[in-house]
Structure 1
Amino acid sequence: MQDDHISTVIWARGVQDRLDVRQYRANYHQWILSDPQRELLRLWGFSAFTNNCSVSQNDIRLITALVEMWRPETNTFHFPFGELTITLEDVYMIMGLHVKGRPVTHRELDAPKAYLQLIQDLPRIKSYAWGAAVLSYLFRGLTKAAHKSTIALNGCTMLLILWAHERLLPGAPKITPGVELVWPMALAWAEPNPDRRENPHHHTGQYRGDFDRFEMS
């Protein structure tokens, strides 16, 4: 599959078109939930989404560099030190989403706002394996985005970025002291930290260099 992989474009031209991250919205900071709404999200297992600072984390340059490392043949990221991938355990620890339960399926699941059909039956919301659905959808999005003709990524990029923060060491940004044990970890990463940025200008080239140089501890 190498001939169709985005890395062939990078090797030939050194650059690629800007990746369109579909989850990104510039006005997430304006998203304000009431206390009853936050409580419902917690009851349903969606605590990670109660903080708009969690949802708004979208480092498009980091995402771009990760897409370049994604191999559809194995559903893993290929780094100089070996392969890594996002697991169901990662989804549960980072996002707090259930990974066991009823499958999230629908014949029109790709239609706009289709997931709302699955949350109309309130007592059954927690019975779904939302984490498994989020992970499989992200894998599909990464596979499509890794094709050299694709310029967009669909999927939960919030999970992708926070997984990179958690797993790609050294080189990860710093988490705010005192919240290391907060669960799900998405809420810990939402805490402001002025020392967090190690790539303040979000250069894709710097991320590529970081991935090429570091080794797993």
Structure 2
Amino acid sequence: MIRGSYPLLAVLVERWRPKTHTFVLSVGEVTVTLEDVAHIFGLPIDGEPVSGWTDSSNKSTAYAHAMYLPLLRNFEQIHTYSWGTACLAHLYRALYCASRYDTKEMDDPLNLLFVWTWERMPCISPVSRHILSPAEIPVAMRWSHSDRSTTWLEKTVVTFRHDIDYMQEVNIYGSNES
């Protein structure tokens, strides 16, 4: 489990534009892509669609939503599904819902969102990238057990806004890797 920060989440949701599926930042518009999902989680992004009906108000403590259980029945077929696409769609939907004025919390694709943010915006990451293990797929593994500094844990919405507003660039994968 990757622990993020509510203030960081609040600042990201403030900058999310549901119509374009982008974060509007001082350096331009950026978004989480299928390539990002494959890089962060190592999930396949080609293959059969992962689909099904779900009632999003039906909260569950299970690790997999019940709608996915029929897809998991045949272990030989699991690799043929585009799990990365489903993961990205879930993130976009959760950000759309979280960006509504009447929403108080966000659904749970937060590991993807936080790792994407820390990889793309190192100036707001909880740990300096040079002390992390080298980036290997899945990249999320290098963030899963990293210790957060007390200073980072105490950051507020105001400090995250400042950090994001004054950052100079957003990393793309393959550049500035540790």
TM-score class, shorter-chain normalisation, is 0.7 to 0.9
The verdict on how the C-alpha distance between 1:106 and 1:164 changes in structure 2, with shifts beyond 3 A counting, is same
SS in structure 1 opposite 2:94? helix
Q: Which runs of 5+ in 1 are unaligned?
A: 1-54
Partner amino acid for 2:144?
A
1:123 aligns to 2:69 (yes or no)? no
Number of aligned residue pairs: give it. 162
CA RMSD of aligned residues (A): 2.1
Distance 1:206 1:60 in 2: 12
Q: What residue in structure 2 maps to residue 78 of structure 1?
A: 24
List, as ranges, runs of 4+ consecutive aligned residues in structure 1 with deviation greater than 6 Å: none
Which of residues 91, 115, 140 in structure 2 aligns to 1:138?
Answer: 91
Find the aligned partners of 1:201 and 1:67 in 2 and give their Cα distance: 19
TM-score (norm 2): 0.81
2: CA distance, partners of 1:90 / 1:79: 18
Identity %: 31
For 1:183, which of 137, 141, 149 is the aligned residue? 137
Instruction: Name the CA shift for 1:178/1:84 in 2 (closer, same or farther; >3 Å).
Output: closer
The structure-2 alpha-carbon separation of the partners of 1:205 and 1:137, relative to structure 1 and needing over 3 Å to count, comes to same
The C-alpha deviation readout for 1:147-196, integer Å capped at 9, x for no partner, is 111112114110000000000143333136362133211111124346x5
Question: Quick check: 1:62–1:207 contact (8 Å CA) kept in 2?
Answer: yes
Does residue 1:174 correspond to 2:120, yes or no? no
Bigger Rg, structure 1 or 2: 1
Q: 1:94-173 to 2 correspondence within 5 Å? A: 94-108=40-54, 110=56, 112=60, 113-114=65-66, 115-172=68-125, 173=127
Question: AA paired with 1:207?
Answer: F
